[in-house]
Structure 1
Amino acid sequence: MSLRTGLFISVLLAALTTVGYGFFKGFVLWIALRAVWGIAWSLMRMGGYLTVIRYSDDTNRGRYMGTYNGLWRLGSLVGVLFGGFLVPMFGLQSVSIIFGMMALAGLPLIAASISPGKASGTHQLELPHGKTKTVCSLQVKKIVISGLIISLLHAVFGATLTYLIDTSYPEGIPWFGLIIGSTVLGGVLTALRCAWEPFLARWFGQRTDGPRGRLPLFMLSLAGAAAGYALLPWQLPLGIWIVIVIFVMITSTALGTIMDAMASDAAKSTSVITVMTAYSVSTDLGAAIGPTLIYWVVGSQYGVTSMYLACAAVFVLIGLWYWKEYVAKGRVYLGEKAEVS
């Protein structure tokens, strides 16, 4: 299947399922629509990764990946905001049709922007004579495992943000004479991250395209995330605590962008579809496991505190795992020196 065809299919499925929410009623039908939409989401996400890999090189891959991730998250924010405003005014059916038609606008954009050819038909990095790389190499395994674990740790934060606000500030947060609840504050902070992603993710990605490679900023982000997670579960002055939350979100933006760029580096020099599929599945799996782990500890004494301290320790361990590469290599993309074209 060509990259263009895969993107066409994903857009069509997304449009049809979105319109379907307005016409079909019942739990079973909505579950079926949600399952089909999940297929569309997976195809679209993979198509985005493969598009970045096809049209990028070592000098701009991080910047393109950051731009892609930022626009993806910003689109999610816009969809949630407009959906929340429009559904009470016009009804679910009308809004579903409008959003479905808007999705179809992507078809001519794909036709005009994506050239024909296999999704795997991307230029591979040239390797020294006699040196081969496989999808089972240590570098690829590290990326897949790291992606799963970091995605899990980020999911823990996302699943417990409002819970932390509730337990740390049970009487609400005063703001200009009003009392803001945990849901409102959590939503505002999450929306803030979605708003800065197109700019900050692109900036982080561009920094890793420089001569020092991706590992220095990756290691720094891991250290920052570890410090932030270690401080989050404690009851601190509200202003300081919010600053820590924002700092943790910034490290999440950095780590997500850099991990995606490192995965695309590995895919470019091995097997694009195989590596990116394994990486995408691992990050999705981590995002699903994270909230499940939280349900086991929420409510128990020191449960959430222990979980966050454990998460901080895991960030440190991941950093130690990459430390040898960080020290040994000057120009590092994925544990190996790469020439910049």
Structure 2
Amino acid sequence: MIESKKFVAGIAIITAICLLGNAMLYVVLPIYWRDFGLSSLWEAGVLLSINRLLRLPLNPLVNWFYNRFDKKTGVIVAIILAFISTLSYGFLKGFIWLLIMRCVWGAAWTLLRIGGLLTVVELSSDKNRGELMGTYNSLWGLGHLGGALLGGLLTELVGLKFVTITFGIIALLCIPLAYHIIPHGISRPIKKEIPTKLIHLLFEKKNRPLFLSGFLIHMIYFGIIAFTLSRIVEFHIPHNISVLGLLIGAASISGIIQALKSGWEPFVSPKVGKLTDTKGIRSPLLAMALISTAFTLVLISIPSTIFLAILILLVMQFMSTIATTLCDTLAADKTAKENQNKTEIMTGYTIVTDLGVAIGPLLASLFEQSLTPLYVGTAVLLIGLGISVLKSTSTEASNPSQ
């Protein structure tokens, strides 16, 4: 168990550091898109989505890569790509150049994400899978702590170039860490029929509930909510406020909120995972988180005081921690039950979740004038999904042999 945690924690920490630049961009770009040489907010939405759209065709290729090369090689390549993309955000301007660099980051994240999820599946059992998945998600989520908090704050105080150089160098320093922590070795046999089998599994009836839930949950939490967080903060706090003598704006406040989420995740995610390992309540707890998020989306659409708005946003982020941890754990549960299709199931899951996160910002960018219709519609979708999760739990309980 201790050795398993060591490997899972190692790849999660490296992923977190590589994520710094991307997390910073999610806070800064929706507000300062003109400073990046963009002509409209819609272009910002495309830039925050294109890396995930690219990952759709990349996922099978990375799956092929990990069947032929070890995780250490894949992670080191990902670190180099993360360094290049992070550094570019401070020096390149214009939609086309930034589009290319977002594609570079997409390749880096795909290598890191599939490598991390497969590590959890391979090293876990039914008794600790939720805990290890919670540990993995919470540690790589710390990248948002540095990227969102420091990125948003430092960009307003000292400028974008300083932030991107710093984050880029920190990412590059992960190469020695990866070399020493991540073991060599190819863990699965080479399979020539992977692309065909993967397509079949994506559309197989028994896999649809998992893939649909993964798509919607990641579209909403990592796409819509993440992309619009700084805008909804700006809606409630349109002017800079003074905190300890410093004037901070919406970018800094949204960065602080995301950072708080990343700060509690190392404690909350493993606890949630461990609780559901022993109590068998993954699906009911997931449904509760989805429906609770729906209510916070409706409430945050109504003008309120600064204190109440921040409180609602924190509850929303807490529900996000629970929902995403349990969704990934349910995917790992299903993957672990497969005898021959473990890699393909997890790759299929990453494809649909990447698609969801890609569509989220694009959808949100269409609501430039008001976020209320978007949030209310998303709330209805979450309530429907929560009810569906509860119904599927009841069906499984009444048909235990399935």
Report deviation, 1:139.
4.0
Counterpart residue type for residue 108 of structure 2: A
Report deviation, 1:212.
2.4
The answer (yes or no) to whether the contact 2:236–2:305 under 8 Å persists in 1 is no
Distance 2:116 2:304 in 1: 40
Distance 1:296 1:284 in 2: 20
Show the counterpart of 1:125: none
Q: State, as a whole percentage, how many aligned pairs show the same letter.
A: 28
Report the RMSD for the aligned CA atoms in angstroms: 3.5
| CA deviation profile, 1:30-52 (whole Å, cap 9, x unmatched) | 76565344223201110110110
Counterpart residue type for residue 284 of structure 1: D
Distance 2:253 2:113 in 1: 29
| CA deviation profile, 1:241-297 (whole Å, cap 9, x unmatched) | 211111110110111000000111112223222111121121111112112112222
Show the counterpart of 2:179: 107
Give secondary structure in 2 for the equivalent of 1:236: coil
The answer (yes or no) to whether the contact 1:135–1:274 under 8 Å persists in 2 is no
Indicate the structure (1 or 2) with the bigger Cα radius of gyration.
1
The answer (yes or no) to whether the contact 1:120–1:273 under 8 Å persists in 2 is no
* Structure 2 alignment gaps of length 5 or more: 1-64, 192-200
Report deviation, 1:312.
0.8
Specify which of 322, 343, 366 is matched with residue 273 of structure 1.
343
Give TM-score scaled by structure 2 length: 0.69
Counterpart residue type for residue 365 of structure 2: Y
Show the counterpart of 2:132: 64
Show the counterpart of 1:130: none
The answer (yes or no) to whether the contact 1:13–1:37 under 8 Å persists in 2 is no
Moved more, 272-281 or 175-184: 175-184
Counterpart residue type for residue 7 of structure 1: K
Report deviation, 1:325.
2.6
1:131-142 alignment runs, 5 A limit:
136-142=203-209
**Change in CA separation of 1:106 and 1:4 when aligned onto 2, cut-off 3 Å:** farther
The answer (yes or no) to whether the contact 1:2–1:119 under 8 Å persists in 2 is no
Report deviation, 1:177.
6.7
Show the counterpart of 2:115: 47
The answer (yes or no) to whether the contact 2:149–2:255 under 8 Å persists in 1 is no
Distance 1:182 1:109 in 2: 38
Report deviation, 1:3.
6.4
Distance 2:100 2:275 in 1: 42
Give secondary structure in 1 for the equivalent of 2:174: helix
Distance 1:290 1:116 in 2: 34
Counterpart residue type for residue 170 of structure 1: P
Specify which of 90, 98, 106 is matched with residue 38 of structure 1.
106
Give TM-score scaled by structure 1 length: 0.80
The answer (yes or no) to whether the contact 2:70–2:185 under 8 Å persists in 1 is no
The answer (yes or no) to whether the contact 1:151–1:286 under 8 Å persists in 2 is yes
Report deviation, 1:203.
1.4
**Change in CA separation of 1:336 and 1:161 when aligned onto 2, cut-off 3 Å:** farther
Report deviation, 1:108.
2.1
Show the counterpart of 2:302: 234
The answer (yes or no) to whether the contact 1:173–1:179 under 8 Å persists in 2 is yes
The answer (yes or no) to whether the contact 1:120–1:272 under 8 Å persists in 2 is no
Report deviation, 1:97.
4.8
Report deviation, 1:306.
1.6
The answer (yes or no) to whether the contact 1:6–1:47 under 8 Å persists in 2 is no
1:312 and 2:379 correspond: yes
Show the counterpart of 1:128: none
Number of residue pairs matched by the alignment = 319
Moved more, 279-288 or 96-105: 96-105
Counterpart residue type for residue 380 of structure 2: A
| CA deviation profile, 1:197-256 (whole Å, cap 9, x unmatched) | 111111111121123241121111112111111211111222222111111101101110
Give secondary structure in 1 for the equivalent of 2:127: coil
The answer (yes or no) to whether the contact 1:46–1:277 under 8 Å persists in 2 is yes
Show the counterpart of 2:24: none
Moved more, 177-186 or 212-221: 177-186
Show the counterpart of 1:14: 78
Counterpart residue type for residue 180 of structure 2: P
Report deviation, 1:5.
3.1
**Change in CA separation of 1:87 and 1:98 when aligned onto 2, cut-off 3 Å:** farther
Show the counterpart of 2:292: 224
The answer (yes or no) to whether the contact 2:336–2:342 under 8 Å persists in 1 is yes
Show the counterpart of 2:4: none
The answer (yes or no) to whether the contact 2:76–2:178 under 8 Å persists in 1 is no
Distance 1:91 1:242 in 2: 26
Show the counterpart of 2:198: none
* Structure 1 alignment gaps of length 5 or more: 122-133
The answer (yes or no) to whether the contact 2:335–2:342 under 8 Å persists in 1 is yes
**Change in CA separation of 1:177 and 1:208 when aligned onto 2, cut-off 3 Å:** same
Counterpart residue type for residue 40 of structure 1: A
Distance 2:394 2:82 in 1: 49
Distance 1:135 1:89 in 2: 42
Counterpart residue type for residue 243 of structure 1: L
Distance 2:276 2:401 in 1: 14
Report deviation, 1:178.
6.0
| CA deviation profile, 1:134-179 (whole Å, cap 9, x unmatched) | 6654342111111111111122111222212222332444546765
Give secondary structure in 1 for the equivalent of 2:371: helix
Distance 1:275 1:180 in 2: 44
Distance 2:112 2:295 in 1: 34
Report deviation, 1:180.
3.6
**Change in CA separation of 1:49 and 1:95 when aligned onto 2, cut-off 3 Å:** closer
